[in-house]
Structure 1
Amino acid sequence: MNLSHLLAARADAGRPVRVLLIGAGKFGSMFLSQVPHTRGIEVAAIADLRPDGARAACRAVGWDEALIAATRFTDDAGAELRRDDIDVVIEATGNPPAGIAHARAAFAAGKPVVMVNVEADALAGPLLAAEADAAGVTYSLAYGDQPALVAEMVDWARACGFSVVAAGKGTKYLPLYHGVTPDTVWQHYGLTAEQAREGGMNPQMFNSFLDGTKSAIEMAAIANATGLAVPSSGLHFPACGVDDLPHLLRPRAAGGVLERAGMVEVVSSLERDGRPVFRDLRWGVYAVFEAPNDYAAACFAQYGLKTDASGRYAAMYKPYHLIGLELNVSVLSVALRGEPTGRPRGFAGDVVAIAKRDLAAGEVLDGEGGYTVWGKLLPAQASLAAGALPIGLAHHARLRRGIAEGEVVGWDDVDFAAAGSALQTAIAARREMERRFAAPRAEAGAA
């Protein structure tokens, strides 16, 4: 509640918080749109594979030419990471190997990281958080994105003495979406390909939101940050509106759909027949919690909380998330308080590659939101036991054998011989993370 006051003091002292943004895509652009309106935050540099595209993004979000001229634009993130005048690094590339490399370079330079790149966090976040600790810097999830917002809600509930029964987000989901490709994605968003291009929307990225991959990645990040458990057979995406959260998102033994209390789950804004859910949570996040005693349950009723029939399960939710428009909260929390807005604390959930169609030996996987695989959430222990390939490494890997539609792709099924150095480094980081965090870390009993 004091971030704006702390920032004002820094601004008054002539010591603005100086940021390096790596990746000026949609999330990065939304952050950039707030910079001219936030006294005390300065973007010292923007590193992007297309510097001219980053300049264009700044113009598109309202930067004037003077501000653009005062900012360094480059395609060399490494050089900017070594600058002494950078207070916070924002990694927003969406590329898992790049995210791991940039985070490690930032730690080596003594700089904290706000990891917008949740794909990298799901792949090796527990290791990156440990390496940040060893370097004496902060590693943080990105406020405005669902994982940090859910982690905040879980922390709120636990700090108040409530047991968290379920937490997660809403999305638009139907089972058929697992097979959608970048060629067919826009019809499900109600857009034409031309409208999507005009909006700067990447079809493969937005397809990862639709085909279930992004939901799985975000729930893995939440599970790893909070210790909440992961459904044993993957996310169920029950159709559920906000009024029904405490009814549906409770253990099966109590009449709900969860295996047990203390789990992540995503709710769908569509019934399975395609009808819209009443008062859906498509753009929001939630936490379901349980009253610890009869007195607290009575208070739920007295203060108007929506509960289940027993009166003991209640829900809090946030109907919207503003993505990069809210990212300043992470930047300032890290820079001014040295405190993350969520971070991995164990390895509870993993996201594995599943064949979207029958794949032939010799085909090359194309990663999140592509034509070949989608990402499924599994408990980390189950993923490791199955030798499953993480979705974050399902890039530029050639299949050694045919994989049937719906089958898990394994480490032994792929050949990384032609992978570049960045992917090889990410593979090594992932293997190191598995070695260090393979023991169960979920707070199985304490939700």
Structure 2
Amino acid sequence: MNLARLLKERADAGRPVRVGLIGAGKFGSMFLSQVRTTPGLHLLGIADLSAPRARAALERTGWDADAAIAASFDEARRTGRTMLTEDAEALITADGLDVVIEATGSPAAGAAHALKAIEHGRHIVMVTVEADALVGPLLAARARQAGIVYSMAYGDQPALVCEMVDWARCCGFSVVAAGKGTKYLPAYHASTPDTVWDHYGLTPEQAAEGGMNPQMFNSFLDGTKSAIEMAAIANAAGLRAPSDGLVFPPCGVDDLAAILRPRAAGGLMEQAGIVETISSLERDGRPVYRDLRWGVYVVFEADPGPSGDYARRCFKEYGVVTDSTGRYTALYRPNHLIGLELGVSVASAALRGEPTGTTDAFNGDVVAVTKRGLKAGEVLDGEGGFTVWGKLLPAATSLARGALPIGLAHHMTLKRDIPAGEVVGWADVDAGDSPIIRLRREMERAFAGTSLAAE
């Protein structure tokens, strides 16, 4: 609260928060549509691998590109215009920049840009949740040491879930489960970019006309994106990852408290304090009644002892939907607005010095699992591809098994045959060496054994 007022004060004082956007894709474009109408924010620059694509994103989101684009960062700073560049480092180091939005979608690029932002004292809003799931604990720790904010992106599910978890704890409730909804069936784990549009009811031609990337959309469908987002939530909110991957139970909003309570209390969760993604489809493909496909939730409970009797009575008095015991209930949000809400993170970082969710520990990890039997010599193609999907595991389990993170399962050659449905290990691939691999290994050494730091 009060962020809009603080932004207006900056606008009235002629000292807007200066923002740099790296990546002019869908998420970045959604932010572009709103930053123009948010007093107190100045988009100093956009960095994208293609400057013409960045210009097209401005035009697509309602900007007069000819009037808005500056010839230099100095001109942009003086006039309130926006500089376009294909050099992300030039944007990060530009004089006067306050906040970097990292929205490339690439784990390696996201981590590199975050490190550069830390070096130059820029707050970071990490839209690229793939980078956060891969090396977020280390990036967040380095940012804290440098006295800057490393933040999840408000509007995306992880930040919204972390906000709801924080709300529940501030109210004195215990968090039982938290997560989001999605469209899921077990067969989707084998989906590839060649089959993805059938599941969305689109033809390849329709998808191409809409500029939709089949591998990116397939990562949403095959379970990988859900695993990455749940890992980010577990690591930021002090929650546990399921012992053998997400269950994706079919569940509507009226059944959250009953289904997502612990097994000992009659639900499906193996224990309390866990992340989970619920499905908008029954296992036979029928739609779930009052599904939460686009939304987020938190299940919480009143104190189970006598001190919680009054809270449970209040639940009943105020029409709160609970499970049959009256002990468990849920709060949910039916949708999320993604990049349209991103200004909340920017303002919070710049004006309050607070993140909208940040990584605290290494509770969950997302590992590569084969979609089909793979042969030695085949090359992995990463999230949403033809070869592997991402499965959420407890970080301790992942490290003990020597599992290969899904965020690194790109362009690596297999050294042995691996059956379908098996976790790929570091020992199974010719990993080579790169800055992101070294960063990941450093993160593993630094955070192995840490858990539930936010509890």
Q: 2:411 maps to what in 1?
A: 396
Letter paired with 1:153: M
Aligned residues: 440
Q: Secondary structure at the match of 2:324?
A: coil
Deviations 1:48-87 (A, max 9, x none): 1111111111111111131235321111101111112111
With 187-196 and 88-97 compared, the bigger mean Cα shift is at 187-196
Give the drift of 1:402.
1.2
Give the drift of 1:40.
1.6
Letter paired with 2:56: A
Whole-Å Cα distance in 2 between the matches of residues 387 and 266 of structure 1? 25
Q: Which of 361, 372, 379 is equivalent to 2:394?
A: 379
Letter paired with 1:305: V
Q: 1:356 maps to what in 2?
A: 371
TM superposition outliers: structure 1 runs of 4+ over 4 Å: none
Whole-Å Cα distance in 1 between the matches of residues 212 and 350 of structure 2? 31
Q: Is 1:40 aligned to 2:40, yes or no?
A: yes
Whole-Å Cα distance in 1 between the matches of residues 13 and 386 of structure 2? 52
Q: 2:424 maps to what in 1?
A: 409
Q: Is 1:223 aligned to 2:234, yes or no?
A: yes
Q: 2:175 maps to what in 1?
A: 164
Q: Which of 266, 284, 289 is equivalent to 1:273?
A: 284
8 Å CA contact 1:229–1:443 kept in 2: the answer is no
Q: Secondary structure at the match of 2:35?
A: helix
Q: 2:69 maps to what in 1?
A: 68
Whole-Å Cα distance in 2 between the matches of residues 162 and 286 of structure 1? 14
With 30-39 and 321-330 compared, the bigger mean Cα shift is at 30-39
With 401-410 and 64-73 compared, the bigger mean Cα shift is at 64-73
Q: 1:439 maps to what in 2?
A: 449
Q: Which of 341, 346, 360 is equivalent to 1:331?
A: 346
Q: Which of 242, 258, 282 is equivalent to 2:253?
A: 242
Give the drift of 1:416.
2.5
Give the drift of 1:199.
2.3
Q: Which of 157, 161, 171 is equivalent to 1:150?
A: 161
Q: Secondary structure at the match of 1:37?
A: coil
8 Å CA contact 2:46–2:85 kept in 1: the answer is yes
8 Å CA contact 2:360–2:453 kept in 1: the answer is no
8 Å CA contact 1:223–1:349 kept in 2: the answer is yes
Whole-Å Cα distance in 2 between the matches of residues 309 and 288 of structure 1? 14
Whole-Å Cα distance in 2 between the matches of residues 192 and 9 of structure 1? 49
Give the drift of 1:440.
3.5
Whole-Å Cα distance in 2 between the matches of residues 342 and 199 of structure 1? 32
8 Å CA contact 1:219–1:377 kept in 2: the answer is yes
Q: Which of 192, 197, 201 is equivalent to 1:190?
A: 201
Deviations 1:83-115 (A, max 9, x none): 121110000001001011000000000111000
Q: Which of 435, 438, 442 is equivalent to 1:428?
A: 438
8 Å CA contact 2:361–2:453 kept in 1: the answer is no
8 Å CA contact 2:33–2:61 kept in 1: the answer is yes
Deviations 1:223-251 (A, max 9, x none): 00011111101100000000000000000
Q: 1:297 maps to what in 2?
A: 312
Whole-Å Cα distance in 2 between the matches of residues 113 and 249 of structure 1? 33
Q: 1:26 maps to what in 2?
A: 26
TM-score, L = length of structure 2 = 0.95
Structure 1, unpaired ranges of 5+: none
Whole-Å Cα distance in 1 between the matches of residues 55 and 127 of structure 2? 20
Letter paired with 2:450: P
With 333-342 and 179-188 compared, the bigger mean Cα shift is at 179-188
In structure 2, the CA distance between the partners of 1:26 and 1:356, relative to structure 1 (3 Å rule), is: same
8 Å CA contact 1:238–1:268 kept in 2: the answer is yes
Whole-Å Cα distance in 1 between the matches of residues 48 and 376 of structure 2? 35
Letter paired with 1:163: S
Q: 1:49 maps to what in 2?
A: 49
Structure 2, unpaired ranges of 5+: 71-80
Deviations 1:103-140 (A, max 9, x none): 00000001110000000000000000000011111100
Whole-Å Cα distance in 1 between the matches of residues 428 and 242 of structure 2? 25
Q: 1:285 maps to what in 2?
A: 296
Whole-Å Cα distance in 2 between the matches of residues 268 and 410 of structure 1? 29
Give the drift of 1:265.
0.4
Q: Secondary structure at the match of 2:451?
A: coil
Whole-Å Cα distance in 1 between the matches of residues 357 and 59 of structure 2? 31
Q: Is 1:112 aligned to 2:127, yes or no?
A: no
Give the drift of 1:190.
1.7
Give the drift of 1:28.
0.4
With 158-167 and 54-63 compared, the bigger mean Cα shift is at 54-63
With 264-273 and 65-74 compared, the bigger mean Cα shift is at 65-74
Whole-Å Cα distance in 1 between the matches of residues 48 and 37 of structure 2? 23
Whole-Å Cα distance in 1 between the matches of residues 214 and 155 of structure 2? 22
8 Å CA contact 2:181–2:279 kept in 1: the answer is yes
Whole-Å Cα distance in 2 between the matches of residues 329 and 193 of structure 1? 36
Letter paired with 2:445: R
Residues 197-216 of structure 1 aligned to structure 2 (within 5 Å): 197-216=208-227
Deviations 1:121-160 (A, max 9, x none): 0000000000001111110000000000000000000000
Give the drift of 1:443.
5.8
Identity %: 70
Q: 2:384 maps to what in 1?
A: 369
8 Å CA contact 1:58–1:68 kept in 2: the answer is no
Whole-Å Cα distance in 2 between the matches of residues 202 and 30 of structure 1? 17
Whole-Å Cα distance in 2 between the matches of residues 78 and 144 of structure 1? 26
Deviations 1:158-177 (A, max 9, x none): 00000000000000000000
8 Å CA contact 1:241–1:279 kept in 2: the answer is yes
Q: Secondary structure at the match of 2:228?
A: helix
